[in-house]
Amino acid sequence: MSPKLRLGIAIGFVFAVLAAAIYFPILKRRVKKQAQVQQKSEEQARLELVQSLNAASNEPKVKAKLFWAADAEYSELVANTVELPLSNDPVLRSKQVLSTLLAGPVDSELRTLPPDAALLAFYILPDGTAVADFSDAMANSIPSGVQSEQFAVDSIARTLEANVPQVLRLRILIHGQAVETLAGHLDLSGTFPVSTKPVPPAPAPAGVPTTK
């Protein structure tokens, strides 16, 4: 190898190291910034829900039924009556009751949903199927197990059933995506029955039951 070539290689390496030293801090800053943006969007979803609750504060307070665990051992779900100013609009009303459900009971051991989970979006299709989109924390922070995951879904479904009669069935998304299970056990690929009234079959994805 000629001295000229060796010198060229050496200079090349020096430049490569210098370029990397300049570039990596920039990359790090970008990643950090992106993480903050994502965090902000979830925080924004929470704020929107709180604002929607405040907007409805002019509404007369009604007795809403929210379902949490009866005890720390998850023996059953029980209805808790809470006075809330609820909108007559079914979508807004659903957001209000679900945000209160997510906020949890006074005794944190009775909560059925993770404290850091947020409702990102909620809408109701013309056939009565409600679509609830939760943040990643709903799947990542929930205690893993058939019992705990079924309690989480049941508490949402029964709370909607008790307070929003327009909702006939429920589809759950995680961060806008259809996922196979909630936390490794409970099937989220289809819809869950909400209303105990006879419900027409849903045009849901094949697989999971749509009606009781």
Partner 1 sequence: MPSLFHCASAIAGPSACISFGILLCVPLMNLTNLMNALIRRIAAVSFAGVLLGALAVHSQTPSPGPPSASTTTPPNSQNPATGRAALNIVVLDPAHGGTDPGARGSAGIREADIVLELTAQVRHGLENQGFQVLQTRSSNENPSFDDRSALANAQTGAIFVSLHVSSTGLSGTVRAYTMADMAMPPTTGGLIPWDQAQASYLSLSRKLGDAVQGELTQRFKGSPMNVQSAYVRQLRTTAAPAIAVELSSVAMEDKADLDRMLPGVADAIVRGVVTFRPSYVTPAVPGNAPGAKP
Binding residues (CB under 8 A) for partner 1: these are 5, 8-9, 11-13, 15-16, 19-20, 23-24, 27, 30-31, 34, 37, 73-75, 143-151, 153, 180-181, 184-187, 189-190, 192, 201, 205-212
> CB neighbours of 189 closer than 8 A, spacing ≥ 6?
178, 180, 205, 207, 208
Q: CB of 140: closest distance to partner 1 in angstroms?
A: 13
Tell the smallest beta-carbon distance from residue 5 to partner 1 (Å). 7
Q: Which neighbouring-strand residues pair with 69?
A: 77
Contact 90, 121 (CB under 8 A): no
**In the complex with partner 1, which residue's Cβ is closer, 74 or 162?**
74
End-to-end CA distance of the chain: 79
Q: Extract long-range pairs of 87-90: CB within 8 Å, 24+ residues apart.
A: 87/52, 87/56, 87/59, 88/59, 90/124, 90/164, 90/166, 90/167
Q: Residue 121 or residue 204: which is nearer to partner 1 going by CB?
A: 204
Query: What's the closest the beta carbon of residue 40 comes to partner 1, in angstroms?
Result: 13
Compute the least distance from the CB of residue 91 to partner 1, in Å. 25
Whole-angstrom distance, CA of residue 192 vs CA of residue 189: 10
C-beta closer to partner 1: residue 164 or 172: 172
Of 52 and 181, the one with the shorter C-beta distance to partner 1 is 181
- Measured from the CB atom, the residue of 99 and 112 that comes closer to partner 1 is 112
Backbone angles phi, psi at 82, to 5 degrees: -130, 135
For the CB of residue 102, give the shortest distance to partner 1 in the complex, in Å: 18
